[in-house]
Amino acid sequence: MIKASINEAKFDALDEYRTSSLFTEAERAALDYVTELTKDKKVNPNTFAQMARHYSEREICEIVWLVASEHLYNMTNIGLNIHSDMLCDINKKRKAARNQEKNFIRNYGKESSAYRV
């Protein structure tokens, strides 16, 4: 499960990894690398150089293998019409619930256990 390898706050901040203080420079370099690899199907030499400053050749190979494996699983699932594990939806629902709680607190001035996430 993801919680075993990444804390919830970090998972929730993935969209803002470039600016979030929760991520190290090495993690930002890896996320830039895998984002380019996934979206563009190629990697800018500068992005690779940044990644190589933080990771060994073996670690880079392992990261590429993980990305490639996930791509294979995703393509297989699409081809077989297997739907998402809802992880993205869970994250969106959690953020929406937190926003609802913040709005409640802002409007009513105190926390209600009914709106706790």
Q: Which two tokens stand for residue 16?
A: 């803002």
Q: Which CATH number is associated with domain 2-82?
A: 1.20.1290.10
The pLDDT score that the predictor gives to residue 26 is: 96
Q: Which residue has the tokens 């420079």?
A: 25
The pLDDT score that the predictor gives to residue 61 is: 95
The pLDDT score that the predictor gives to residue 29 is: 97
Residues 71, 77, 81, 83, CA torsion sign: negative
The pLDDT score that the predictor gives to residue 109 is: 72
The pLDDT score that the predictor gives to residue 34 is: 94
Q: Which two tokens stand for residue 105?
A: 């607190």
**In tens digits, what is the pLDDT along the chain, a chain of 117 residues?**
344 566 778 888 888 999 999 999 999 999 999 999 999 999 999 999 999 999 999 999 999 999 999 888 888 888 887 776 655 566 666 777 777 877 777 778 765 555 554
The pLDDT score that the predictor gives to residue 88 is: 59
Long-range Cβ contacts of 109-115 (<8 Å, 24+ apart): none
Decide: 51 and 33 in contact? Cβ < 8 Å.
Answer: yes
Please state the domain extents for the chain.
2-82, 84-117
Decide: 75 and 67 in contact? Cβ < 8 Å.
Answer: no
The pLDDT score that the predictor gives to residue 56 is: 96
pTM: 0.64
